[in-house]
Structure formats: structure tokens, C-alpha cells
């Protein structure tokens, strides 16, 4: 059986094209250009790359973009004041605070993220959005799992009735991924570091999502023949090589479909941020 390579590049291009059309529609119908503000505190090199990619995504889709660069030693009050200003800025429909935050304010992360208006919370981390997702109401949904679900839809992969197994239960990936799959009628199992007999469970998966943060964690013996394997992991090896959580070489021949790293879920995440910004603008127009 042929393995389908689920190229993030192809699906991200479709998502961005769709976002671009929606931006044009909002401009024509309401005279509104969706706007995204990204706040970056400090000099984390990986964060700088992500922020540059976000700016590029805005440029490609016609979204108005602001990047607010704050010094490494910014205190909580100053950051909260900036978020408050953006909450009231009519040009801005989406606000994203780039993580990780510098040490002195890291412990206040939850308070900082909750200060973002739920209507502008394009990362989908605010408890109101988390709650709305879990009860099936309109919600801004975290970009990475949301991008994975849209990819499955675009690839024509059936989710209803399938057994989806997720390795990882973070608030950013694992839990919202579980909610999204459940809402689409999959039977969902969530595994984590305390799960016993992990491979026995993952071998039952029709759809296997790896969001662990450990290079080459998922090996061929953990995967059922023909399974759809979504690799969310982004791990930088000492050699600087970027790899996922899945041992692609050994798993790809068994899988029915698989996402590569790089070139997979990471690209979908950025594209989905553009979609979320458009959706946030739509919610605010409503």
C-alpha cells in the first residue's frame, strides 16, 4: 500500500489562500481589515524566527500586522498595560504573546494570557475559549491542533468512528486535539507520561497524534498498518537537525498517511493563526 505524505506546505497554502479570500470579503463587506498584534518580550532566537514567520503569513494573506518588541527586563505591569491597550485598539483583532516569556515574568504566564480579551485570543489559550471549545460553542481554538484537524478535512481523511490516539496532554496541543477529534465523532484516547503499556494503545490507533517533545519517540512497532500518523513534535538535535516525535524512516512505510518534520504541522500552525485572526475579526464584527 502506498503511503500518503501529508505535506504541510500544500495544506498551509490552501489555508492561507482561504484566509486571503476571507480578508478581501471582510474588506469589501464591512470595510474591515483583520489585524494581528504579536508581542515579543526579550531576545529568544527561536521566538524571533516564529515571529518573522507570523509577519510573513500576515503579508501573504493581507492581514494588518503589528509586532511589539519589548525589552528582556519588561515587568508584568508594563506587559499587562500593553495588552490592555491592544484590547482596546480597533485596528487589532488578534493578540498573541509569544512564549516563552523571560524568567522574571514566566510565573505570571497564566495571568498575562488571561488578560487578552477572549475575542482577540487567537492562540485560544484563554479559559473562556477553552471552555467554549469543550462545550461545542464558537471558540478560538489553539492553532496547532486546529491546523491538524483542518488538514485531515482537506485530505479527505475520515475521522468519525475512528480510534484516535494522542500522545501528550498539554493545554496547547494534546487536550484541544482530543476535544476537536471528539467533536468530530472519533473515539479518543489520550496518553501521557504515566500511561502504562503505551505501545499496546498506540497500535490500536487509526489516527495517531504524537505531541510529546521527544525525538524519534514513536517507532514502527507502535503503529498499526495503514494508520494516519500526525507528528506535532519539533525537536532540535545537537547536530542542529530538526526532527519530529516520530521515527519517520521506520514508520512511513507502515503508515497509510504521515506528516513530515520539517514541512508538516509547523507550517499549518502559522497558516491557522491567519485563519484564527480572520475568525476573531468576524466574531468582533458580529
Helices (H), 31-93: 45-61, 76-87
In terms of DSSP bridges, do strands 35-41 and 4-5 run parallel, antiparallel, or are they unpaired?
A: unpaired
Interacting residues with ligand NDP between 57 and 116 (CB under 6 A): none
Among 173, 188, 271, 273, binds ligand NDP (CB under 6 A): 173
Contact criterion met (CB below 8 Å) for 33 and 90: no
Least CB distance from residue 201 to ligand NDP, whole Å? 10
The correct pick among 7, 132, 235, 250 for binding ligand NDP (CB under 6 A) is: 235
From CA 259, how far away is CA 264, in angstroms rounded? 5
Task: Say if residues 87 and 126 touch (Cβ distance below 8 Å).
Answer: no
What does the block give as the cell for 177?
486535539
Residues with Cβ within 8 Å of residue 181, at least 6 apart in sequence: 149, 159, 164, 166, 188, 207
Is 192 a binding residue for ligand NDP by CB under 6 A? The answer is yes
Minimum distance between the CB of residue 134 and ligand NDP, rounded to whole angstroms?
17
Site string for ligand NDP, 246-285 (x = CB under 6 A): -------------------xx--x----------------
Separation between Cα atoms, residue 220 and residue 230, nearest integer Å: 14
Catalytic choice (16, 22, 121, 123): 123
Asked if 85 contacts 66 with a C-beta cutoff of 8 angstroms, the reply is: no
In the complex, what is the shortest distance from the CB of residue 26 to ligand NDP, in angstroms, rounded to a whole number? Answer: 26
Compare residues 124 and 266 and give the one whose CB is closer to ligand NDP. Answer: 266
98 as an active site residue: the answer is: yes
Q: Whole-number minimum distance, CB 169 to ligand NDP, in Å?
A: 4
Span interacting with ligand NDP, options 24-32, 97-105, 133-141, 229-237, rule CB under 6 A: 229-237
Q: Which three cell numbers stand for residue 53?
A: 514567520
By CB under 6 A, name the one of 83, 140, 232, 271 that touches ligand NDP.
232
Give whichever of 82 and 231 is closer to ligand NDP, judged by the CB atom. Answer: 231
Answer for which of 234, 272, 274, 280 binds ligand NDP (CB under 6 A) is 234
HSE-up (13 A, CA, CB side) for residue 88: 5
Instruction: Check if 123 is active-site.
Output: yes
Residues in contact with ligand NDP, counted by CB under 6 A, come to a total of: 25
User: Residue 189 interacts with ligand NDP (CB under 6 A)?
Assistant: no
Contact between 183 and ligand NDP per CB under 6 A:
no
Residue 29 annotated in active site: no
Closest by CA position to 246, among listed 257, 261, 256: 261
Neighbours of 81 (CB within 10 A): 12
Whether the ω angle into residue 262 lies within 30 degrees of 0, i.e. cis, is yes
Candidates 193, 196, 197, 238; binder of ligand NDP (CB under 6 A) is 193
Report the candidate in 122, 88, 87, 81 with the shortest Cα–Cα distance to residue 105.
81
* Positions that interact with ligand NDP (CB under 6 A): 144, 167-170, 172-174, 191-195, 198, 211-214, 232-235, 265-266, 269
Amino acid at each position: 500500500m502506498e503511503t500518503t505524505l501529508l505535506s504541510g506546505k500544500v495544506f498551509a497554502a490552501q489555508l492561507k489562500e482561504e484566509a486571503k479570500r476571507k480578508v478581501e470579503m471582510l474588506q469589501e463587506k464591512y470595510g474591515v481589515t483583520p489585524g494581528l498584534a504579536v508581542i515579543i518580550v526579550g531576545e529568544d532566537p527561536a521566538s524571533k524566527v516564529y515571529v518573522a514567520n507570523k509577519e510573513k503569513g500576515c503579508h501573504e494573506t493581507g492581514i494588518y500586522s503589528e509586532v511589539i518588541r519589548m525589552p528582556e527586563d519588561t515587568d508584568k505591569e508594563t506587559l499587562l498595560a500593553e495588552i490592555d491597550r491592544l484590547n482596546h485598539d480597533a485596528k487589532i483583532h488578534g493578540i498573541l504573546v509569544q512564549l516563552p516569556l523571560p524568567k522574571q515574568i514566566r510565573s505570571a504566564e497564566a495571568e498575562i494570557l488571561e488578560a487578552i480579551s477572549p475575542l482577540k485570543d487567537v492562540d485560544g489559550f484563554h479559559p473562556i475559549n477553552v471552555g467554549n471549545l469543550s462545550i461545542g460553542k464558537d471558540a478560538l481554538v489553539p492553532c496547532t491542533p486546529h491546523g491538524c484537524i483542518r488538514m485531515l478535512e482537506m485530505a479527505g481523511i475520515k475521522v468519525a468512528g475512528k480510534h484516535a490516539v494522542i500522545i501528550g496532554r498539554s493545554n496547547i496541543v494534546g487536550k484541544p486535539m482530543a476535544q476537536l477529534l471528539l467533536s468530530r465523532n472519533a473515539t479518543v484516547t489520550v496518553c501521557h507520561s504515566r500511561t502504562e503499556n503505551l505501545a499496546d494503545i498506540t497500535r490500536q490507533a487509526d489516527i495517531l497524534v504524537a505531541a510529546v517533545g521527544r525525538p524519534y519517540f514513536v517507532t514502527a512497532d507502535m503503529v498499526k498498518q495503514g494508520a494516519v500518523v500526525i507528528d506535532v513534535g519539533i525537536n532540535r538535535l545537537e547536530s542542529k537537525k530538526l526532527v519530529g516525535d516520530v521515527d519517520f524512516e521506520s514508520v512511513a512505510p507502515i503508515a497509510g498517511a504521515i506528516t513530515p518534520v520539517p514541512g508538516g504541522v509547523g507550517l499549518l500552525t502559522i497558516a491557522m493563526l491567519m485563519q484564527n485572526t480572520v475568525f476573531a475579526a468576524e466574531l468582533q464584527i458580529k
